[in-house]
Amino acid sequence: MMNEKLNQVEAYAKEEMAGDYSGHDYDHIDRVVNMVLKLLTYEPANGEIALTAAYLHDVFDDKLCADPVSKKQLVQEKLVSFGYDEMEIDAVFAIIERMSFANNIDEKQELSKEGKIVQDADRLDSIGAIGIARAFAYGATHQTKMFDPKLRPRTNLSRAEYRDVKESTTINHFYEKLFLVADEMNTRTAQRIAYERKVYMKRFVEEFKDEWNEL
């Protein structure tokens, strides 16, 4: 399914995300792309649009990028230079800007077929064994405590509150996001995978708390 346009997008994404240590590095991108390819075998959709969004979905994310507006403009210019037309770029950006958990807190966003596939692939990488590792990597880079029994998981969060990670803990993040997204997959294939990964995460959190309480 790869073509010259996608090869250029892949190289650009690899360059942009190479220095990340928060769990959003190119290895994460590569896993999301591979999951998109898997889901596309069950869910017919425009593979080029889905894969382009998968490669670029973190490049101008506001939690990772100091100036997301300027970065988005640069990405748009890159896509034009790679041969994407205006409708294709709009379709890719609509996915990226609507797919994140944070952007669906205050109001649920409508996604295209391609967007639902990319959202599922990205969310699947946030749960299970790799999701656990990524959660602690992100927490460490943002000086978030691993656990504090006195801090209960937050509920009914606004987008701004959710993004304030220093008001929570990494273990609370499982309750505030990861267990939730495991139940919100769009495609049947992703739902099946998510169920197994959620069971694994729940066992991990229970074991973590048991060991913590033995200290």
Range of the domain at 25: 4-213
| Sign of torsion over alpha carbons 183, 188, 190, 195 | positive
User: Which residues touch 36 (CB under 8 Å, ≥6 apart)?
Assistant: 50, 51, 54, 117, 118, 121
Share of the chain above pLDDT 70, in %: 99
Quick: pLDDT tens for 79-92: 999 999 999 999 99
- Count of domains forming the chain: 1
User: Which residues touch 78 (CB under 8 Å, ≥6 apart)?
Assistant: 12
Quick: pLDDT tens for 30-58: 999 999 999 999 999 999 999 999 999 99
- pTM, two decimals, is 0.95
User: CATH number, domain at 117?
Assistant: 1.10.3210.50
